[in-house]
A and B are shown apart, each in its own frame.
Chain A
């Protein structure tokens, strides 16, 4: 395995069934003058998992024989759920978390105000029903909302599009 594969194979500390490569968090891995340099981007600015992710990358590369890696942060371009790979979305769904749809696109002007909840077109990861309702805009982590399926009555989390 090369260093990029090792770094990308590190699992997310909050969602341990997806890797950093699945989530699009690892933006670049290269050989620097002073060892491997891994560039990552935070999902949300306050995401406390970033510290653990940084530690896990350093440890994984060290254990794979690449020595002491350096982890850099880039803030721009800002992370978007569109960077989650198709395999990452499939793994989220298999774990009972509805994957995000396409992130909203801005067409200039102020950020549009959304009242009365967002689209119901989130598929239930348990029974596949196509329309579900939002219970709460934030769930156990900032990146997910809490929803309920009217068909199978199961609650589930959904990764919000950003």
Chain B
């Protein structure tokens, strides 16, 4: 099979799977061994995969809402691609959670059929952005924290979490670089962009407190060499944010506030709004495929 150009290949389709990738979406962990490491409570591993998976899923949904609304087409592409990376991480983690749980829930059941209180993401992920500067501030916080977390996950005793960490580090490196680049561009830009970027970091960065407060599940899994104690990420996070602020000519990052229980399913009305949109099609057409 050879083609003169890329378009010919796309139009020369003789089946539906090439054209609509959504058709026949299947288990992203197909063929990957899924044993639970020794000494780990499977319920903890399920909860942990949901935490890290929901962080990515909800943040991904917020990012794709910016498509058609970003300042430039290139930024819509960037935000969509970052969202796609996170969605890929979410698929692996939710699939893993469903397999370990063993009650037949797959990634779709976990994404589309859970109630808000069953979601385990940090509340930072669900926040609605007031403007582009707020989104960028939130993406810098989220990707700096997640990159540090995924990097430590690469040495997990659980081979799947270690592999997800190793792949995710490569992706999150680009996510952080994109966000940091925009903070610098706006912070070290015009008076207007500086003022708005500063307002955004002042509004968003204090919310990072919850990212470093360990949940009991995280502490147990960290002790077992499977998970990461998020408190250990704080130094790296602080160093990166301080450097970005310095180059962006912004004052040092503001102090962090205490957390808000996202890891225990405490969420705001913003999550209801997200799930109403995300789950609508699946709930209106139970079991439907396309």
Contact = CB atoms under 8 A, between A and B. Distances in A.
A125 B145 CA distance: 36
Contacts of B42: none
Interface in B72-88: 74-75, 77-78, 80-82, 84-88
A14 B7 CA distance: 10
Interface string B141-159: 0000001100100000001
Contacts of B247: 115-116
B174 A160 contact: yes
Interface residues of B, number: 61
B74 A135 contact: yes
Given A45-B89, A117-B181, A162-B170, A16 B9 contact: yes
B85 A45 contact: yes
Interface string B161-175: 011101111110110
B181 A138 contact: no
Band of interface residues on A: 35 or more
Interface in B25-70: 25-26, 28-32
Given A115-B184, A136-B74, A78 B24 contact: no
B58 to A, nearest CB: 15
Given A51-B21, A137-B174, A140-B77, A72 B30 contact: yes
Contact of A45 (B77, B81, B151, B164): B164
A146 B76 CA distance: 13
A73 B30 contact: yes
Interface of B: 1-3, 6, 8-9, 15, 17-18, 21, 24-26, 28-32, 74-75, 77-78, 80-82, 84-89, 91-92, 147-148, 151, 159-160, 162-164, 166-171, 173-174, 176-178, 180-181, 184, 236, 239-240, 243-244, 247
Of all A-B residue pairs in the complex, the 6 with the closest CB atoms, nearest first, are: A46-B88, A72-B31, A45-B88, A136-B74, A75-B163, A16-B9
Interface of A: 11, 13-17, 39, 42, 44-52, 54-56, 70-80, 95, 110-111, 113-117, 135-142, 146, 160, 162
17 contacts: A16-B8, A17-B2, A39-B31, A42-B167, A46-B88, A52-B17, A71-B31, A73-B28, A74-B32, A75-B163, A76-B163, A111-B148, A115-B243, A136-B75, A137-B174, A138-B178, A142-B85
